[in-house]
Amino acid sequence: MRTAEIRARFLDFFAERGHTVVPSAPLPTPDPTLLFVNAGMVPFKPYLTGEVAAPWPRATSVQKCVRTLDIEEVGKTTRHGSFFQMNGNFSLGDYFKEDAIRFAWELSTKSVADGGYGLDPEKIWVTVHHSDDEARTLWREISGLPEERIVSRGDEDNFWSMGVPGPCGPCSELYYDRGPKFGRAGGPEVDEDRYMEFWNLVFMQYERGEGTGKSGYPILGELPRQNIDTGMGLERMATLLQGVDNLYEIDETRPILDRAAALAGVRYGDDEQHDVRLRVVADHVRTALMLLADGTTPGNEGRGYVLRRILRRAVRSMRQLGYEDRALPELLPVARDCMAPSYPEVAEAYERIAGQAAGEEDAFRATLRQGTAVLDTAVTKVKAEGGRSLPGKQAFLLHDTYGFPIDLTLEMAAEQGVEVDREGFAALMREQRERARADARARKSGGAVDTSALRTVLDEHGPTDWRAWDTLETDSKVLALLGAQGPVPVAREGEIVTVVLDRTPFYAESGGQDSDAGRLSGTSVEAEVLDVQRPVPGLVAHQVRITAGELAPGDALHAAVDPEWRLGARQAHSGTHVLHAALREILGPTALQSGSYNRPGYLRLDFPWRGGLSATTRSEVEEAANRALRRDLPVGVKWMTLPEAKELGALALFDETYGEKVRVVEIGGAWSRELCGGTHVSHASQVGVVALTAESSVGAGMRRLEASVGIEGFGYLARERDLVGQIAEQIQAPRAELSDRVAGLLERLKASDRENQRLRQQATVARAAELAGSAVQAAGFLVVTATADGGADEARALAMAVRDRMPAGQPAAVAVGSATDGKAALVVALNKAGRAAGSSASDLVKRLLNGRGGGSPELAQGGGLAADQLPQTLGALAGLLGEQE
């Protein structure tokens, strides 16, 4: 049974039993504590914890997940995979243990002809928590399993919580006996390779308190509403139903592995080292495909860095297998064909995906060349200084700056007989992770306020009455006043605090739109709104500075958004939609927005594209955007279900989470149709103007457009006009002729530079002949030392010119120094006879400069020398040649 059918059967089974089918959330998650969705329940967390009222009593989904904590283990065993799919059914205060157990048993053992999976009931084992007599009894009654196949286990295996105070409860797991070829008999406690877990039923029935670990916390009591959260591993079920050994051999993974093996000219199963690399390739290519499809782009931090690392590990593994050509264009189409039956969007977006992946592979190939040169230089220096270990700082530089994997550094250093200070490298990595965790904690807290205090406010008062779409002013009441340490009784002039209101007209930053600015005013207080966020779902928090008086919980306030700020924000957000549509009109549908930011007067938009846009293309995009403004296209808002929006062709942002009903913003109907929660103008002409100000690269295969809009856009154009006028006046040219006149001036400058270069070369040739004729004998060598005006390039040119004029049959050594800003550079050149005499330019430079510098045996250079030491250093050359005798 193919994986896509296993997936469809699961959803159909639960849909027939009253479950709402919920589409998979995108892999990038808005949860500030996570980079990607890493479990099937993550999108349901607000409903399971009671933070937000559930829109349905029971639901089912097949959720895409990525886990990268054990990425180094991928491929080494057949149990680790970074991308996986979790089939789940959820009861949100509806059914509980009995139905959850009945559903799992029925779907698992029901015949294939009747819509089930047809697993042999005699091979199924289950585990229950040792305290859960109810689950044990239900399993006996529903399935008829004998006592010996219902195994009791402790907290480590069969009790679930989220690691923080809140819902928790016992679990019941289903295992399938794959037979003696996979291990020992005796059940899952004896061998979890033979007995493969395929489904976990979580019974959320208790509330836990503070504590650590799996059991270091008190159980506070029963939950008022009990929930069910189950997870059936889709890849694991496919492994069972397809009769293969592991997840790398199922129909969604094995074709990628086989194509990689064919490209590399190896066969899976013949060599364990090859097999590990093939499994890495198969897993990482599929993972990268799904991350790219969901809008993640390669980068240097966060999600982008994870994707970059995955792509580069795949490419590196192919190179280790002996395949030197571009690998991703060969492998990604196979992954696309494997995943498209379940996720048609990977085929629809494939051109964009392929372009981004190809750009990243090309960048990594260049990185390998650059990093190899840096590593070689570092290893040479270590050896020259008599060392045997590459410093951890150098390994970290290669990893952090050049994207060089540590395993690649270890391997290449070992090939040159040098170890790597792994402890030093690991310490620097820990520091980097701590910085990342600190950043995550800051994002999680929404600034300086602990989210636990905000959750308390939400529990007591419910969600904020949010009016940003409807009005700029509300009469409001202060529900809570919070500082870094929690609630505060009063805030006084000059203090900055977080304020929660019962209702607000302020837009909280989201969807790329900056938060509103404005004021809060009361009978005895004035406050400036600095920032507005949604640190927990449903609650709007305002960071404010008290400018006069005092503010306390319970105070009545008038909340007012700055109307000029909101107008600018609406212009910028609508301008972003207009620019996005214009970009797709000119470049095609693959130019899909992958990130944006807008504030009054300014917008930026990131999109996948290989290579920069020409001036002509930028002008065409700008013109298409402003034509839309001139046509005064209407801007409208519609509410509909997510499937209806997709059917209509609405574009969705990948990193947003959408509810049962979504808000679709249209500009000119189908011309621009996007899911969006932002504020917008009512007609396109109100944007004013879109003036492109910059176009740049923000990573391999990713471009960024920046623009000014509204009055700021007109201001930008006015400044450009004034600048053109100033230049035209300075060179005394009519504006219409300005481009040609500037081009002419540049050509004359280039011609002057070429003439100066020619004269310098003539001078170098004349001086080289003079210096060659003044060579002195030392230690069997003709020796020339000199200084050159300018920098290292001039010294190098003179040294080579002198060397080339020395007698061919006699050993010759030339040293030329140059000094700039108090620092000197040194170049040493040897002719062929000098090399034959056993000397080396590289060794001579290193000895003259105490290990600094390097190059080839014929030509080498170095620096770091004080200018006043140059004469003494040049004079030491003859002595060094004598030491070689």
Q: How many CA atoms lie within 13 A of 733 on its CB side?
A: 15
Pairing of strands 781-787, 812-820: parallel
- Round to whole Å and give the CA distance between 198 and 369: 44
| Stretch (H or E) spanning 33 | none
Pairing of strands 518-522, 556-561: antiparallel
- Round to whole Å and give the CA distance between 220 and 218: 6
- Round to whole Å and give the CA distance between 763 and 769: 10
Burial classification of residue 764, based on how many CB atoms lie within 10 Å of its CB (0-12 exposed, 13-18 middle, 19 or more buried): middle
- Round to whole Å and give the CA distance between 466 and 462: 12
- Which residue's structure tokens are 């970074």? 82
Residue 619 CB neighbour total at 10 angstroms: 13
Residue 154 is classified by DSSP as -
Which residues carry a binding-site annotation? 573, 577, 676, 680
- Round to whole Å and give the CA distance between 873 and 863: 12
Nearest Cα to Cα of residue 828 among 786, 868, 882, 770: 786
Confidence class for position 443, pLDDT limits 50, 70, 90: very low
Q: Are the beta carbons of 682 and 573 closer than 8 angstroms?
A: no
Nearest Cα to Cα of residue 161 among 151, 152, 153, 171: 171
Give the mean model confidence (pLDDT) for residues 105-129.
95
Round the CA-based radius of gyration of the chain to a whole number and report it.
34
pLDDT tens digits, one per residue of 748-801? 998 898 888 788 778 887 888 889 888 899 888 999 999 988 777 788 889 999
- Mean residue pLDDT across the chain: 88
Whether pLDDT at 435 is above 70: no
Pairing of strands 159-161, 166-177: antiparallel
pLDDT at 32: 66
Tell me the two tokens of residue 752. 């002057």
- The least confident of 196-205, 340-349, 377-386, 768-777 is 377-386
Residue type at 524 in one-letter notation: S
pLDDT at 508: 93
- Round to whole Å and give the CA distance between 99 and 142: 10
Of 62-76, 94-108, 651-665, 706-720, the range with the highest mean pLDDT is 94-108
Give the mean model confidence (pLDDT) for residues 214-241.
90
Whether pLDDT at 445 is above 60: no
Whether pLDDT at 284 is above 50: yes
- 678-712 burial, b at 16+ Cβ within 10 Å, e below that, comes to bbbbeebebbbbbbbbebeebbbbbbbbbbbbbbb
Angle formed by the axes of helices 392-402 and 422-444, nearest 10°: 50
Residue 324 CB neighbour total at 10 angstroms: 9
Give the mean model confidence (pLDDT) for residues 325-347.
93
Q: C-alpha distances in angstroms, 885 versus 221, 655, 862, 882? A: 89, 70, 24, 6
Q: Are the beta carbons of 852 and 752 closer than 8 angstroms?
A: no
Q: Are the beta carbons of 664 and 648 closer than 8 angstroms?
A: yes
Which residues fall within 8 angstroms of residue 452, CB to CB, at 6 or more apart?
none
pLDDT at 403: 66
- The least confident of 164-178, 207-221, 499-513, 591-605 is 207-221
- Round to whole Å and give the CA distance between 684 and 606: 21
- Which residue's structure tokens are 């007012």? 560
Nearest Cα to Cα of residue 667 among 650, 688, 685, 684: 684
Whether pLDDT at 447 is above 70: no
Which residues fall within 8 angstroms of residue 704, CB to CB, at 6 or more apart?
604, 605, 606, 694, 695, 696, 697, 698
Confidence class for position 441, pLDDT limits 50, 70, 90: very low
- The least confident of 128-132, 180-184, 363-367, 500-504 is 363-367
Facing residues of 496 across strands?
545
pLDDT at 861: 87
Pick the residue with more confidence: 793 or 56? 56
pLDDT at 649: 85
Q: Is 345 helix (H, G, I), strand (E, B) or coil?
A: helix
CA 214, 216, 222, 224 torsion: positive or negative?
negative
- Which residue's structure tokens are 């040294």? 799
Which residues carry a binding-site annotation for Zn(2+)? 573, 577, 676, 680
Whether pLDDT at 303 is above 90: no
Helical ranges in 110-158 per DSSP H: 133-143, 155-158
Pick the residue with more confidence: 856 or 548? 548
Confidence class for position 690, pLDDT limits 50, 70, 90: very high
In percent, how much of the chain has pLDDT > 70? 95
Tell me the two tokens of residue 618. 């930028």
What values do phi and psi take at 210, rounded to 5? Answer: -70, 150
CA angle 842/821/764 to nearest 5° reads 60
pLDDT at 735: 82
The alpha carbon torsion through 258, 260, 265, 267 (nearest 10 deg) reads: -40
Whether pLDDT at 885 is above 70: no
- Round to whole Å and give the CA distance between 537 and 542: 14
Facing residues of 549 across strands?
525
Give the mean model confidence (pLDDT) for residues 706-733.
89
- Which residue's structure tokens are 């996979």? 182
In percent, how much of the chain has pLDDT > 90? 48
Distance of CA 152 to the CA centre of its chain: 41
Give the mean model confidence (pLDDT) for residues 611-632.
92
pLDDT at 184: 92
Tell me the two tokens of residue 464. 């904020």
Residue 461 CB neighbour total at 10 angstroms: 15
Tell me the two tokens of residue 259. 């194509």
- Which residue's structure tokens are 């002996």? 322
Q: Are the beta carbons of 172 and 137 closer than 8 angstroms?
A: no
Whether pLDDT at 440 is above 70: no
- Round to whole Å and give the CA distance between 444 and 442: 5
pLDDT at 444: 40
pLDDT at 630: 94
Whether pLDDT at 437 is above 60: no
H helix and E strand count, the chain: 26, 34
Confidence class for position 517, pLDDT limits 50, 70, 90: very high
| Stretch (H or E) spanning 753 | helix 738-773
- Round to whole Å and give the CA distance between 260 and 334: 10
pLDDT at 605: 92
Q: Is 533 helix (H, G, I), strand (E, B) or coil?
A: strand
Q: Is 108 helix (H, G, I), strand (E, B) or coil?
A: helix
